[in-house]
Structure 1
Amino acid sequence: MSSKAVIKQSRKPVPLGLMIPVILLVVLTSLPLLYIVLRAQEAGLSHAMSLIFRTRVYQLLLNTLQLLVTVTLISTLIGVASAWLIERTDLPKRKLFNALVTLPFAVPAFISSYSWISIFPQLEGFSGAVLVLTLCNYPLVHLPVAAALRGMDPALEETSRSLGFSRAQTFFKVLLPQLRPALLGGAILISLHMLAEFGALAFLNYETFTTAIFDQYYVAFDGASAAMLTLVLLILCVGVIGLEILLRGKHNHATQRQGSPGAQDQVILGWTKPWLLLAILLLITLAAGVPLAVIGYWLLSGSSSAFHGQEVLSALTTTLSFGFSGALLATVFALPLVFLAVRFQGRLANLAERLPYFIHSLPGLVIGLTLVFFAIRYAFFFYQTTPLLLIGYAMLFLPMAQSSIRATLMQIPPQLEEMARSLGKSAWRVFIRITLPLMAPGLGAGLALVFLQIMKELTATLLLRPTGIDTLATKVWEHTSNAEYGASAPYAALLILISGLPVYLLTMRSFTRNTA
């Protein structure tokens, strides 16, 4: 029986206990839109329009789109090329290279940018932003494309070659259409990251909507102008998501794999192998080697590196505490949304499931401004408190928990729950005793993903953190903003270590599982 048929058979009235938290979450995730409406009303229509339609906004739009398109295109080319080299050629040490190529994913962009700026102060503006952000974001294409290549049916390429097509023709006519969903998904993620990026661009002195919004709020104290710039940014986010839907279409490129993972035909590189090996080593050196080497240098010889162990320990403890608490809250929020979407159907279920993905596409700065606005106006006791910060984290990273939990819940037959209910067990007891334990792998994966993202988050943390509380990310920002590179090095090193170890282990495990 198909999953659609199972869902249709399971359609039933939504329990009130499930409906209430879902409605609350829909309201919560709608706050950024409400924030824009309220600020526009306060400013007045004519003033709001004058803030939007001005030369500065046009320049910000040009800067933002120029960066978005350039970084996305170059990152996509690098990600596809690196994935193909590792998955389809006789490149040596492929397992190790797969882990090293994805290692930059664990280095926050603002840390990478300050590493480059500290040794090349002239590396500012558009060219510097393209270099640093490309090196930070290409793994977002490499990871899904590499996974798609590993999971692809080898018979497709064998059939193409048997029909007389060259390897190049096979790649463009057979492989590339099959890679389209993975490639497009990674490219869209990079585009959204470009709209949300703040810390790296602030260091590199390249102005986009996100940096301008931060300056208007924090430096000029002009909330109305910041809100109108936020509106334009929201429209750009909607445009990127709409473009993804348009490009993705309704085509299904999935194929059933026949044969073993090891059956893939490897391309013999021949005389090009040393040059391609050198190219991939250069990529790893620039993307991960430079930031790690610079941080190591400043740890050993930084002139501003008076090591304050208690401060470092406090920032580390706070980061871990916020990361775990925020991940737990996001997972708790995600449970009713996923359960409603999978076990029930209707407009509320569709809205509740999709709205968090739109919120996730917004910069942390927008979420921070939204929560600051409502806290100051309507719940001042909530302003600059840990619970408000954790709510911001949950809003930002809720879809990461959703996707992991949904994948697990979809594999649990609803008949198990129905049988337990027929034996007289309450819905709550069935959920606790049967459904929740079976969802443990998805819950764990969701917790880990959200935890890693929270530790690297900067802009929402700067706006929402309690007074006097610092994380590893905010301490890096504080010291590097004052050119105290040595003082920032311990915080940056710890942040990369905590983020990098899980990324490395997960990448190695995934590669081993798919190539064993």
Structure 2
Amino acid sequence: MPTRTTAVGPPHAGTSPNAAGSRGARPGSRAVVVLCVLIALFSLVPLVFVAIMTANAGVDTIVALVFRPRVGELLVNTVALVAITVPLCVLCGVGGAWLVERTRLRGHKIWAVLLAAPLAIPAFVNSYAWVSAVPSLGGVAGGVLISTLSYFPLVYIPVAAVLGRMDPALEQTGQSLGLGPWRVFFRVTFPQLRLAIAGGALLVSLHLLSEYGAFAMIQFDTFTTAIYDQFRSTFNGAAANMLAGVLVVLCLVLLLLEERSRGTARYAKVGSGAQSGPVRLRLGWYQGPAQLGLAALTVLAIGVPMWHVVRWLIFGGVAVWERDPLLTALLQTLGYGLAGALATTLLAFPLAYQVVRHPGRTSRLLEGANYISSSMPGIVVALALVTITVHGLPAIYQTSIVLVAAYALLFMPRALVNLRAGLAQAPKELDEAAQALGKPPLLAFVKVTLRLTAPAAAGGAALVFLGIVNELTATLLLSPNGTNTLATEFWSLSSEIDYAGAAPYALLMILLSAPMTYLLFAQSKKAAGQ
């Protein structure tokens, strides 16, 4: 990491351009810190809302609303869903990544893409397809099936990226000591995957806590479905707020567990490592079962939803494409997606700049505030913004401003992570060199840092766009009157059992999501140096 240089000499001595640049940058740095603090305070709005509503409810109300059979039922459903789905996602994700990256699997490049592709299909579209195939699907089993098929790529993608960039010398050393393939995997390879598995498992868990449409369609009750139903019946009553408080506690517990699971082991390597690629294992007679297993997973996760979307399109005929709301929904989805992606990326940039250029405890705290808030379900974020705008800012209640703000709260980390990586590859010395050559600080920043960061910013914005296209809960609660996005129109029609009418919206969401999903996959491969 480059070190900061300071001018040495008496006050009247001349200063170097770098020193002048650093001194001139101090007010700007203070401005960035102030801006980062404001963004962090904005991101903490949902958490503060839950805390205030809980404190105002009083002990008697909290006890009456939280310690009741209904909450116990929701808690059992949620815990069972997480406890079963997360290990299945880890099994599918790690197993698929290992086969693709570490074995002589035929067509491994094709399988690498297919195993990431289910992310392009929203979970509620997956649920719609499976309900079409098995109308009686429901309960914990139905929730686990749909969740596993929708979210296992969240484990597969980071694990495959780690396997791709892991030093093959580690495994070669294990083999030279006489360890067999399985012992090498569990004693050498698997510990190196710990962070990726923990991170992927956390993402899966948070998605399970926040998912609404997929579970509502199969009538499987979770905290999110119960909060939404309670909100619709009593408009932000105390019961909905208390359920939201329990849900936030579960989110914070998951964050704490993920942090503790990281451990203190060192995962970075010193030096360039082995220059040769990993030795791919021969599968032998396991080749057939491996191909069949991956084919079955792909058919269940991609084939079933795509088949039923196409089947309903054929059943509906040309008429389903001639409905007036279809074009409106497409345009509004694109509009909100672009506006939300732009706003989120702009808000994330000062924080990413502060974290990279001025690392420290303050920067970590400001960054952490965004991660904590974004881990909260969309229903909690929406309830917070509804309450604040109704009581404090009625002029913007149920306007596009509030909806875009919700998108920024929900998807800030997607832009932040990409921007942080991009800024890390644009050393500040380049800015200082440009200033030494006579460029004003702002022009040097635009010409050098901003230009080098542009690809990372575009990648982050694309991932935010993907999230907005598939977002349902917050959009249902916050969208202005007359707003019709692809997700809300799909939900409206599928709730009316008009599956043929909902099919075009499902297909358009998949087509919009597919390029962004491939971009995410390609970025993981690029990070792995493949």
| TM-score (norm: length of structure 1) | 0.94
Question: Deviation string for 1:38-88 (max 9, x for gaps)?
Answer: 323443332133212222212212211111111001110111111111111
Determine if contact 2:374/2:412 at 8 Å carries over to the other structure. yes
Which piece of structure 1 moves more, 233-242 or 408-417? 408-417
Q: Deviations over 1:248-293 (max 9, x none)?
A: 02222233553446x3212211122112211110100000100000
Separation in 1, partners of 2:5, 2:187: 36
After TM superposition, the structure 1 = structure 2 runs for residues 42-441 of structure 1, keeping only pairs within 5 Å, are: 42-255=56-269, 258-260=273-275, 263-302=277-316, 306-345=320-359, 348-421=362-435, 427-441=441-455
Query: What is the rounded CA distance, in whole Å, between the counterparts of 2:233 and 2:132 in structure 1?
Result: 24
Distance in 2 (CA, whole Å) between partners of 1:211 and 1:125 is 13
Distance 2:193 2:51 in 1: 40
Q: Measured at CA, do residues 147 and 207 of structure 1 come closer, stay the same or move farther in structure 2, by a change above 3 Å?
A: same
Please give the per-residue CA displacement for 1:394-446, whole angstroms capped at 9, x wherever unaligned.
11111111111111111222223334455675543433233211211211111
Name whichever of 39-48 and 165-174 sits farther off. 39-48
Identify the range of structure 1 (196-205 vs 46-55) with the bigger mean alpha-carbon deviation. Answer: 46-55
- Measured in 1, the distance between the counterparts of 2:390 and 2:199 equals 37
250-259 vs 65-74, greater mean Cα deviation: 250-259
Describe the SS at the equivalent of 1:439: helix
Answering whether residue 493 of structure 2 is matched by residue 479 of structure 1, we say yes
Q: CA deviation at 1:506?
A: 5.3
The worse-fitting range, judged by mean Cα deviation, of 44-53 and 331-340 is: 44-53
197-206 or 280-289: bigger deviation? 197-206
User: What do the CA deviations read for 1:312-365 (whole angstroms, capped 9, x no partner)?
Assistant: 111111111111110000011011111222223555433221111011111111
Q: Is the 8 A contact 1:95 1:508 kept in 2?
A: no
Q: Distance in 2 between matches of 1:350 and 1:82?
A: 34
Check 1:64–1:342 CA distance in 2 against 1; reply closer, same or farther (3 A cut).
same
Q: Distance in 1 between matches of 2:416 and 2:228?
A: 29
Give the secondary-structure state (helix, strand or coil) at the position aligned to 1:480.
Answer: helix
The structure-2 alpha-carbon separation of the partners of 1:494 and 1:154, relative to structure 1 and needing over 3 Å to count, comes to: same
Change (3 A) 1:222 1:410: closer
- The one-letter amino acid paired with 1:258 is G
Q: Distance in 2 between matches of 1:274 and 1:78?
A: 17
* Alignment map for 1:447-486 (pairs within 5 Å): 447-486=461-500
- Structure-2 separation of matches of 1:129 and 1:19: 44
Alpha-carbon distance in structure 2 between the residues aligned to 1:184 and 1:13: 40
Q: What secondary structure sits across from 1:219 in the alignment?
A: helix
Q: 1:272 to 1:223 in 2, by over 3 A?
A: same
Q: Letter of the aligned partner of 2:172 in structure 1?
A: E
Q: Quick check: 1:72–1:187 contact (8 Å CA) kept in 2?
A: yes
Taking a change above 3 Å as real, the CA distance of residues 184 and 345 of structure 1, as seen in their structure-2 partners, is closer
Tell me if structure 2 keeps the 8 A contact 1:64–1:209.
yes
Aligned to 2:513: 499
Alignment partners' CA distance in 2, 1:162 and 1:20: 55
Q: Following the alignment from structure 2 to structure 1, what is the Cα–Cα distance between the partners of residues 437 and 279?
A: 54
Contact 2:94–2:155 (CA under 8 A) maintained in structure 1: yes
Q: What is the CA deviation profile of residues 223-269 of structure 1, one whole-angstrom value per residue up to 9, with x for unaligned ones? A: 211111111111111111111111102222233553446x3212211
Alpha carbons 1:342, 1:410 under 8 Å: kept: yes
User: Distance in 1 between the 2:362 and 2:526 partners?
Assistant: 41
Identity percentage over the alignment?
41
Question: 8 Å contact 2:316–2:500 — kept in the other structure?
Answer: yes
**Partner SS for 2:265:** coil
- In structure 2, what is the Cα distance between the partners aligned to 1:345 and 1:184? 24
- Report how far residue 201 of structure 1 moved: 0.8
Q: Deviations over 1:349-383 (max 9, x none)?
A: 33221111011111111111111110110111101
> Aligned residues, how many?
513
Q: Name the aligned partner's letter for residue 513 of structure 2.
A: S
TM-score by length of 2: 0.91
Q: Is the 1:304–1:484 Cα contact (8 Å) retained in structure 2? A: no
8 Å Cα contact 1:295/1:492 also seen in 2? yes
CA spacing shift, 1:7–1:24, aligned 2, 3 Å: farther
| Pairing partner for 2:49 from 35, 41, 46 | 35
Contact 1:178 1:254 in 2 (8 A): no
- Displacement of 1:136 in angstroms is 0.6
Letter in 2 for 1:356: N
Which SS does the other structure have where 1:250 is aligned?
coil
Q: Residues 460-514 of structure 1: CA distance to partner in whole angstroms, max 9, x if unpaired?
A: 1111111111111111111111111000000000100110133236536865996
Question: How far apart, CA to CA, are the structure 2 residues paired with 1:128 and 1:119?
Answer: 12
Query: What SS does the corresponding residue of 1:295 show, helix, strand or coil?
Result: helix
Note the aligned Cα RMSD (angstroms): 2.4
Conserved? CA contact 2:236–2:383, under 8 Å: no
